[in-house]
């Protein structure tokens, strides 16, 4: 008993070894950021950011990441709802398929997209013949690649929320005369709103930073498929200052979004 007493920590004071480990954990995040900040060519920033390469990449990144988030919202919420509420054979297989992009190297995902939707692909060839649409090396290809990689975040977050939700509230709404659509719109979605928004933010963040699948499937064409991460990768070879400047832009945008939404919406995560 006495040795237990000795180890006891004053109330409210965390154990020292935990604090040390926590600081080390923080270092993992802070050091790379500090390294980046140390190399920022502050005086060159306006010129670099005004360049066409950066402007094109920024525009494309915003378009692609927001499109992917919108598609994830429209398709991912129903998918999550079906997974959470409908029992069907092979549900766990479907659930596994959806989580696959989370663990798969993005370059493998990009290659798979190429084999499926490429000019000679399983779906890509008939699609091209019917509509003339060619996804690879187009902006639509970027959207498809980022959606593939990012949508699982939304589906998983929303499915979890739907499964944890107390469904008796939906029953209560039904007895009050609400149609299924009204129940969904006025009860289900508002009740899972914190998770839905957290899922959207995660999806957007993942889409905004997407690199591997995009470069494999959509290529690296300035103004058409070159997003910010791709521009950074290219610039690292030749113009370090540009690479650092674009990286800083990405850090600032991502951080701003995450911090702005964190306190209001992230408690669900």
Of 193, 256, 260, 269, the one binding other proteins (CB under 8 A) is: 193
Q: CB within 8 A of 219, min separation 6: which ones?
A: 136, 137, 141, 225
Q: Which of 182, 220, 222, 254 binds other proteins (CB under 8 A)?
A: 182
Binding of other proteins at residue 191 (CB under 8 A)? yes
Q: Which C-beta is closer to other proteins: that of 240 or that of 267?
A: 267
CB of 140 closer than 8 Å to CB of 71: no
Question: Counting contacts by CB under 8 A, is residue 158 touching other proteins?
Answer: no
- Told to check if 55 binds other proteins by CB under 8 A, we report no
CA angle 164, 166, 171 (to 5 degrees): 140
DSSP 85-137: H---TTHHHHHHHHHHHHHS-HHHHHHHHHHHHSTTSTTHHHHHHHH----TT
Site membership for other proteins, residue 168 (CB under 8 A): yes
* Contact with other proteins (CB under 8 A) among 71, 173, 207, 249: 173
Using rule CB under 8 A, residue 174 touches other proteins: yes
Cβ atoms of 245 and 49 within 8 Å: the answer is yes
Check binding of 190 to other proteins (CB under 8 A). Answer: yes
Distances (CA, A) of 53 to 23, 62, 67: 38, 14, 21
Using the rule CB under 8 A, give the single segment among 4-12, 33-41, 76-84, 172-180 that binds other proteins: 172-180
Least distance CB 199 / other proteins (angstroms): 17
Helix (H, G, I), strand (E, B) or coil at 68: helix
Among the listed residues 73, 178, 221, 268, the single contact to other proteins using CB under 8 A: 178
**Count of residues touching other proteins (by CB under 8 A):** 18
Q: Does 185 bind other proteins (CB under 8 A)?
A: no
Give the x-and-dash track for 119-148 against other proteins (CB under 8 A): ------------------------------
User: Which of 184/221 has CB closer to other proteins?
Assistant: 184
With vertex at residue 39, the alpha carbon angle to CA 35 and CA 40, rounded to the nearest 5 degrees, is: 120
- Looking at the Cβ atoms of 40 and 178, the one nearer to other proteins is 178
Task: Report the interface residues with other proteins, using CB under 8 A.
Answer: 166, 168-169, 171-179, 182, 186-187, 190-191, 193
């Amino acid at each position: 008993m006495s040795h237990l007493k000795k180890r006891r920590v004053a109330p409210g004071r965390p154990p020292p070894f935990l604090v040390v480990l926590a600081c080390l954990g923080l270092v993992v995040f802070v050091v790379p950021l500090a390294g980046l900040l140390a190399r920022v060519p502050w005086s060159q920033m306006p010129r670099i950011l005004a360049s066409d390469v950066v402007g094109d990449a920024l525009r494309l990144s915003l378009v692609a990441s927001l499109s992917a988030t919108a598609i994830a919202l429209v398709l991912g919420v129903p998918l999550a709802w079906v997974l959470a509420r409908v029992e069907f054979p092979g549900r766990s297989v479907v659930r596994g398929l959806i989580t696959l992009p989370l663990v798969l190297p993005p370059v493998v995902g990009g290659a798979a997209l190429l084999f499926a939707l490429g000019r000679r692909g399983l779906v890509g060839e008939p699609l091209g013949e019917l509509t003339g649409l060619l996804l690879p090396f187009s902006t639509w290809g970027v959207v498809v690649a980022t959606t593939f990689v990012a949508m699982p975040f939304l589906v998983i977050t929303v499915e979890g929320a739907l499964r944890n939700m107390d469904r008796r509230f939906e029953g209560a709404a039904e007895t009050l005369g609400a149609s299924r659509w009204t129940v969904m719109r006025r009860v289900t979605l508002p009740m899972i709103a914190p998770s839905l928004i957290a899922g959207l933010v995660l999806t957007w963040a993942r889409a905004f930073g997407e690199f591997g699948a995009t470069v494999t499937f959509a290529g690296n064409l300035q103004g058409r498929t070159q997003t910010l991460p791709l521009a950074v990768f290219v610039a690292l070879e030749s113009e370090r200052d540009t690479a650092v400047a674009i990286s800083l832009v990405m850090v600032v945008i991502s951080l701003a979004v995450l911090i702005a939404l964190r306190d209001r919406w992230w408690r669900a995560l």
